[in-house]
Structure 1
Amino acid sequence: MKPKLLFATGNAGKVRELRLLVGDAVEVVSLKDLPPVPEPVEDGATFEENAVKKARAYSEATGLPALADDSGLCVDALDGRPGVHSARYAPGDDKDRYEKLLTELADVPDAQRTASFRCALALVTGKGDAPRVEVGRCEGVILRAPKGTHGFGYDPVFQVEGQGGRSMAELPPEEKSRVSHRARAFQLMRRHLLAL
């Protein structure tokens, strides 16, 4: 019988991505496949802390090995902000958040607008061993105006390094899934998942 893994997300796109990565080796279920579980508070100082906290809480609540992620945008000129607060950087929707970012960076020269998307993945097996943590990064710069219609969050204002001047929101989904911070973290985590 295949081992079952809870991916602690309700995001169908993330679940599909993980299922493609592990193939038939592991049965991946999401939070939508299980009875409701209380959501842990994400109050860690780093992406790694938040991912471990979520994975541990969901593994304990369900009795399953759990994989959780935490990710966000880190802008060098803002000393790493919005960082772990990326989803709560400004009230409202994604557009409100990236518009606040563009306003904060209005006077920052192009050469100093470097940034990275970061994703921490944590795996807790529930067998008493230490959490496995892997981090993926995607480097780029913050644009002066949004470009593209794909993706979500800060994708329209993040120009991906090595992608011909395109924003993350200009990359087709299959291309984004090869170069994104989450894709890189998944690739690093794959060996731990296949060992389940």
Structure 2
Amino acid sequence: MGADAPHRVVLATRNAHKIAELNRILADAGFGGELVGLDEFPGAPDVPETGLTFADNALLKARAIAEYTGLPAVADDSGLTVDALNGMPGILSARWAGKHGDDRANLELVLGQLADASMRGGAFVCVAALVVPGGAGEQAEERVAGEWTTTGVLPGSIIREPRGSNGFGYDPIFVPAGLDKTTAELAPEEKDAISHRGRAFRAIAVLITAHAS
């Protein structure tokens, strides 16, 4: 960002859960700047998730928001991969039942599809991307190889009935490997410590903090 740049970073989402999560992680990483979401930019575009992978979609969103706001932008794409569904819903996780963001319908559809399945393994996957705008007249600085995208994976299994009221999305039906609680039964700090998004965001937080110096 450079020494004279304001230490302000935009997370390409209007999801208050994600903003709070990255805020906690950035605080732990020693970031002294300000993280804002898209509610600070009412005219910001809703970027279609047309990529074929989590990384494609994260970079599409980060590029567009960095260009629109002129600020360093972080975006993520994440979802649930289910072994018995050949890795789906995957990048379609947020709209698996047809309507984007209908958590309950998405969750119930997955449970219905797994009703007779004995194989119940799966994983939460998240890819986070950081795009830092260049100076005037320059294109956004974007490095895809390694240090500018990060991936977090949380393996586990899908249970038959939802449990817990914390979290969102598929959290109430996912039990991380080695635990007996769903991710919706974990305290926020417990979830941050192991979650796919927490792992990807902790790695991207290191990059954000480095570029704010």
TM-score by length of 2: 0.84
- Write the distance in 2 (CA, Å) between the matches of 1:188 and 1:108: 35
Q: 1:129 to 1:53 in 2, by over 3 A?
A: closer
Greater relative contact order (Cα 8 A, min sep 6): structure 1 or 2?
2
Counterpart of 2:159 in structure 1 is 143
Contact 2:76/2:128 (8 A) holds in 1: yes
Counterpart of 2:25 in structure 1 is 21
**Deviation at 1:151?**
1.6
After superposition, give the CA deviation of every residue in 1:151-195 in whole Å (9 maximum; x if it has no partner).
2111111111122x1111111222112211111111111221111
Contact 2:120/2:158 (8 A) holds in 1: yes
Counterpart of 1:106 in structure 2 is 115
Describe how 1:52-67 pairs up with structure 2 within 5 A: 52-67=59-74
Counterpart of 1:117 in structure 2 is 124
- Write the distance in 1 (CA, Å) between the matches of 2:127 and 2:190: 20
One-letter code aligned to 2:15: N
- Write the distance in 1 (CA, Å) between the matches of 2:89 and 2:142: 32
After superposition, give the CA deviation of every residue in 1:119-150 in whole Å (9 maximum; x if it has no partner).
11000001224241101111110111212222
- Structure 1 counterpart SS, 2:166: coil
Q: Please tell me whether residue 130 in structure 1 is matched to residue 172 in structure 2.
A: no
- Structure 2 counterpart SS, 1:138: strand
Contact 1:120/1:134 (8 A) holds in 2: yes
Counterpart of 1:185 in structure 2 is 200
Q: Please tell me whether residue 10 in structure 1 is matched to residue 14 in structure 2.
A: yes
One-letter code aligned to 2:204: M
- Write the distance in 1 (CA, Å) between the matches of 2:168 and 2:23: 21
Identity of aligned pairs, percent? 45
Counterpart of 1:81 in structure 2 is 88
**Deviation at 1:57?**
0.5
- Write the distance in 2 (CA, Å) between the matches of 1:21 and 1:150: 18
Q: 1:104 to 1:148 in 2, by over 3 A?
A: same
Counterpart of 1:94 in structure 2 is 103
**Deviation at 1:91?**
3.6
Counterpart of 1:69 in structure 2 is 76
One-letter code aligned to 2:110: L
- Write the distance in 1 (CA, Å) between the matches of 2:166 and 2:20: 17
- Structure 2 counterpart SS, 1:5: strand
What residue ranges of structure 2 are gaps of 5+ in the alignment?
Answer: 135-140
- Write the distance in 2 (CA, Å) between the matches of 1:107 and 1:12: 35
One-letter code aligned to 1:13: H
One-letter code aligned to 2:47: P
- Structure 2 counterpart SS, 1:37: coil
